[in-house]
A and B are shown apart, each in its own frame.
Chain A
Amino acid sequence: MLNKILNLIVVLLLFTVMFISIDDSIKVWSGKDQANEISVETLANGAGGIFTDYIFSFELLSLLLIAALIGALYIAKKEVF
């Protein structure tokens, strides 16, 4: 019981730290109260898109995903380790 109260206190302190840091940094990004709509075309082919600027990271990510898939199958299939 005491353990749960201590965990709750720790998490509330963490949230308080994050709230204070968000509230103090409000002057950095104030004035931006309207969300811009970013289209899928911009996300893919515009400046900073997946297929233009980050094409190397995108291909590397595909390699990482297939390596993780094969590794996960290998670990889960093995009898003992």
Chain B
Amino acid sequence: MADLFMFLIISAIIFSIGSYGIITQRSGIKILMSIELMLNAANINLVAFSSFNGDASGQVFALFSIAIAAAEAAIGFAILVALFKVRDTINLDNINILRW
């Protein structure tokens, strides 16, 4: 009894956990982890609809989305490393170099 409704509810729960992490946490690495949770919730939706419709395109899009998420995580961690060299912290409340 694993119908499409269950997958959508699981996806919504994971997306809510990710958005709660983005709202509450102030550390850069935790926010990146929360972004990955939200992207994975979207991937669950893509794979579930693809599998229940019998069309392979959704899983191909999920694969592309995973690759984009890997590139985004690499860039995000590189930016955090550069910020840590400048400010000696990755607490995002102290990062205001793009503010004018």
Contacts and interface: CB of A to CB of B under 8 A. Distances in A.
Contacts, number: 103
Contact of B4 (A19, A32, A50): A32
Interface in A4-52: 4, 7-8, 10-12, 14-15, 18-19, 22, 26, 29, 32-38, 42-43, 46-50
Interface of A: 4, 7-8, 10-12, 14-15, 18-19, 22, 26, 29, 32-38, 42-43, 46-50, 53-54, 57, 61, 64-65, 68-69, 71-73, 75-76, 78-81
Given A69-B71, A81-B82, 15 more contacts: A7-B23, A11-B19, A14-B16, A15-B16, A18-B15, A22-B9, A34-B52, A35-B51, A42-B56, A48-B57, A54-B60, A61-B67, A68-B72, A73-B78, A75-B82
